Structure 1
Amino acid sequence: MSSLGTRVRRAAMVGLTAAALTGLLGASAAAAPFEATAPAALTSTTDVYIKDVTADVGVQPHNLNPLWASPDIKVCPNPTECAVSQNPVVGVTNYIFVKLRNPGPYGSGVGTGTLQVYRTTPGGGAVWPTHWTQIGAAYVTVNPGVTTVIIPWTGVPGPGHFCLLARWVSATDPMTIDGPDISLNTRYNNNVAWRNVDSVQLGAGQTTPAGRPFAIGNSLRVPSRNEVVFNAAEPLQAIGGRVVVDLGPELFERWRAGGAVGNGVRPIGRTQVEIVEPTRASLGNLLLNPGERVQFSLLFTAEVASDREIAFNVTQFGPDTSGAKSTDLGGVQYLISAAKR
């Protein structure tokens, strides 16, 4: 491995260690946060990577966003790669295509290892490995260039909406950290990638909303306060779009007890709030217990037909195990379209 690669990896670990110490100093010994663990060796001889975003060239860590929309992970209904990733079909075999790229900036040569693919409920704060279920794995030899690996996904459970995680595990290309925060693992390891993209195809004027699950979690050993931010690439009103967040009785009560902190939202029922700001809104001061992950629902409707997709991002922000007070803990990009009934 080049001396440049060694310096970058070691610099990444130094930065992470300093941040972790900052977090530890701010908590009592009895309530210390989880610590990300590093392998004994920080060097590698090979470097296979998976893109987090289109501009990703394998540098770790990086500041590219969103972390959770990897273009190198794709779901298709059959073993022939589709042009655009699709929502999995419940109850049948689907296929996950993952692109492994060789070499990255920290090694060279043929890489050998195991590609592992996992799933969890869409959203943020999924603790690794507690909240993740393995879909499949394959032992792979990765020659220079791009190798596409197909992982069959049998018996997809309902409702068919998931976050996906791909991990390249290799003795000659170790993880720099492998802690409970998927966001940190993804940013600091070029052999970890994450995809949370969901197509929401609505019927214009349809009164029954399309529902999607979303979960927020806390990887710390102490309670944490979190925010959920809603961003649209353009106003959903362009298709008469409406988004209602059903927090459920317990999370709604926590939001209310925390001061009902929010922007661009309004309560509309005993457990629901409506997103009224066209392009940005938020729900804040949401209390989560240590290690907890709580699910709520997003309800989408549209009144006007449209031949284009509108990207609507939902992201959890909160503290992580590095000591950061508010960072991207994960989210989902919903691609919303409305067809004529």
Structure 2
Amino acid sequence: MSARTGPRRPRHPTTGRKPVTTRLTPRVRRSVLTLVTGAATALLLSVTSATAAPLDQPDDSGILAEPVDVYMKDHPSDSGMQPHSFGPLHESPDIKVCPTAEECATSQNPIVGQRNYIFVTLRNPGPYGTGATETGRIEVYRSTPGGSAAWRSDWTQIGWMQVPVSAGSTTVTIPWDNVPGPGHFCLATRWVSPNDPMTFEAPEISVSALHNNNIAWRNVDSVELVAGGQAQIRPYSIRNALTWANRNSLVFSQVGAPLNTAGGRLVADLGPTLYQRWLQGGKAGKGIRDVGRNQIEIVEPGQASLDNLMLNANEKLALSLSFTATTVTKEPIAVRVTQFGPNSLGAERADLGGVRYDVKVAAR
């Protein structure tokens, strides 16, 4: 491998060793990519960029002599450092869902049963590259909304595209056909290329996204309410991606105006299994009220938590969130539900990700 100049990639956060990268020969790489390409011919894939266009065949140009670093932002302030200190990780501004092939101003919930479009922004260079053009594959996946999603068991691929990324920003457009109901998902994107490898992969996506600028994650859901109308229900999953049992928390916080500005009410239905775990953990928490039938009202959405929730090894439990409101408001309201617990790097209480719910209340 040719010597590289410029910023160096970080060492592995656990072992302290430099990442080891396995390079495929052109012949092997051609064979693998040909198989992938054949499986994806049914997808309509397009690229929108002033400098990039779709490739008919995967690039086979080999290894570059200069360092390459293509990245996606985890946070608006993210510059591609691995890791960084910005949060939350699960609201990437470089992933957007739109109902048409023309990019929309803000990401929207996908419309069930029809074609939607996912727009992914790739940036070149990051702090470890020089801006050289790199050809790689952008992959998009979906999962149930919630906290610590495990790679790969919790993720279903939506589509992928082979694309060259030059200096500047390149927007890739990937169609999403036959969106399944109820239409609420976490999305993750992965940039895979021979000259810009990921440093390592963790069991949970929260750690992988923090330590790989090739991975981005977006869990943002819109909640459209009618004042005095029916509740809107949103699915949520709490997950232990590790191989040992441990205790976790669900923490509720607010962005913008408080939910009570709209006379809002938020109730978590834990289901029988998770509710029993909460009882066994001493009904720990704050800013909450047990209303029976496995349900917990989040009385103070800006500073509430459900704590001491025991999860078995590799366990995933489902719950649901019910939103209602009584008053029309034009102020932006958002509620974050974030899972905290141990991670694979040894932290006892790490941010494992979650979902931001953007709430709008219209007149009846």
1:219/1:320 Cα in 2 relative to 1: closer, same or farther (>3 Å)? same
1-side partners of 2:66 and 2:6: how far apart?
Answer: 12
Equivalent position amino acid for 2:110 in 1: P
1:9/1:3 Cα in 2 relative to 1: closer, same or farther (>3 Å)? farther
Residue 229 (structure 1) aligned with residue 251 (structure 2): yes
User: What is the CA-CA distance between 1:308 and the residue it aligns to?
Assistant: 2.3
Residue 106 (structure 1) aligned with residue 128 (structure 2): yes
Aligned to 2:138: 115
Residue 273 (structure 1) aligned with residue 275 (structure 2): no
2-side partners of 1:58 and 1:214: how far apart?
Answer: 29
2-side partners of 1:318 and 1:328: how far apart?
Answer: 7
Residue 17 (structure 1) aligned with residue 18 (structure 2): no
User: What is the CA-CA distance between 1:320 and the residue it aligns to?
Assistant: 0.9
Residue 318 (structure 1) aligned with residue 341 (structure 2): yes
2:266–2:301 CA contact under 8 A, matched in 1: no
User: What is the CA-CA distance between 1:4 and the residue it aligns to?
Assistant: 5.6
Aligned to 2:91: 69
Residue 203 (structure 1) aligned with residue 226 (structure 2): yes
DSSP 3-state at the match of 1:237: helix
2:5–2:66 CA contact under 8 A, matched in 1: no
2-side partners of 1:179 and 1:293: how far apart?
Answer: 17
2-side partners of 1:5 and 1:295: how far apart?
Answer: 43
User: What is the CA-CA distance between 1:309 and the residue it aligns to?
Assistant: 2.2
1-side partners of 2:66 and 2:201: how far apart?
Answer: 16
2-side partners of 1:291 and 1:138: how far apart?
Answer: 31
Aligned to 1:23: none
Between Structure 1 and Structure 2, whose CA radius of gyration is higher? Answer: 2
Q: Equivalent of 1:308, from 314, 322, 331?
A: 331
1:58–1:105 CA contact under 8 A, matched in 2: yes
1:44–1:174 CA contact under 8 A, matched in 2: no
Mapping of 1:232-271 within 5 angstroms?
Answer: 232-233=254-255, 234-271=257-294
Aligned to 1:212: 234
1:128–1:181 CA contact under 8 A, matched in 2: yes
Number of aligned residue pairs: 319
User: What is the CA-CA distance between 1:3 and the residue it aligns to?
Assistant: 5.4
DSSP 3-state at the match of 1:17: coil
Q: Equivalent of 2:173, from 150, 162, 187?
A: 150
Equivalent position amino acid for 2:7 in 1: G
Aligned to 1:52: 74
Percent of residue pairs identical: 53
Q: Greater share of helix residues, 1 or 2?
A: 1
User: What is the CA-CA distance between 1:2 and the residue it aligns to?
Assistant: 6.3
User: What is the CA-CA distance between 1:278 and the residue it aligns to?
Assistant: 4.7
1:44–1:106 CA contact under 8 A, matched in 2: no
1-side partners of 2:313 and 2:19: how far apart?
Answer: 23
Q: Equivalent of 1:140, from 147, 163, 168?
A: 163
- C-alpha deviations, 1:181-211, integer Å up to 9, x for none? 10111011111000001110100011x2100
- C-alpha deviations, 1:243-266, integer Å up to 9, x for none? 000000111011001111010001
User: What is the CA-CA distance between 1:337 and the residue it aligns to?
Assistant: 1.2
For the aligned residue pairs, the C-alpha RMSD in angstroms reads: 1.9
2-side partners of 1:184 and 1:69: how far apart?
Answer: 15
Aligned to 1:174: 197
- Structure-1-length-normalised TM-score: 0.90
Equivalent position amino acid for 1:310 in 2: I
- Structure-2-length-normalised TM-score: 0.84
Aligned to 2:217: 194
Equivalent position amino acid for 1:238 in 2: T
2:259–2:334 CA contact under 8 A, matched in 1: no
Q: Which runs of 5+ in 2 are unaligned?
A: 24-64
User: What is the CA-CA distance between 1:281 and the residue it aligns to?
Assistant: 0.2
- C-alpha deviations, 1:154-202, integer Å up to 9, x for none? 1100000000001000110000111211011101111100000111010
Q: Equivalent of 1:5, from 4, 7, 13?
A: 7
- C-alpha deviations, 1:124-183, integer Å up to 9, x for none? 111001100000000010011100000110110000000000100011000011121101
DSSP 3-state at the match of 1:260: coil
2-side partners of 1:284 and 1:140: how far apart?
Answer: 44
If asked which structure has higher relative contact order (CA below 8 Å, sep 6+), I would say: 1
1:38–1:178 CA contact under 8 A, matched in 2: no
Q: Equivalent of 1:88, from 107, 110, 116?
A: 110
DSSP 3-state at the match of 2:15: helix
1:44–1:172 CA contact under 8 A, matched in 2: no
2-side partners of 1:269 and 1:5: how far apart?
Answer: 56
2-side partners of 1:101 and 1:185: how far apart?
Answer: 18
2-side partners of 1:258 and 1:39: how far apart?
Answer: 43
| 43-52 vs 115-124, which moves further | 43-52
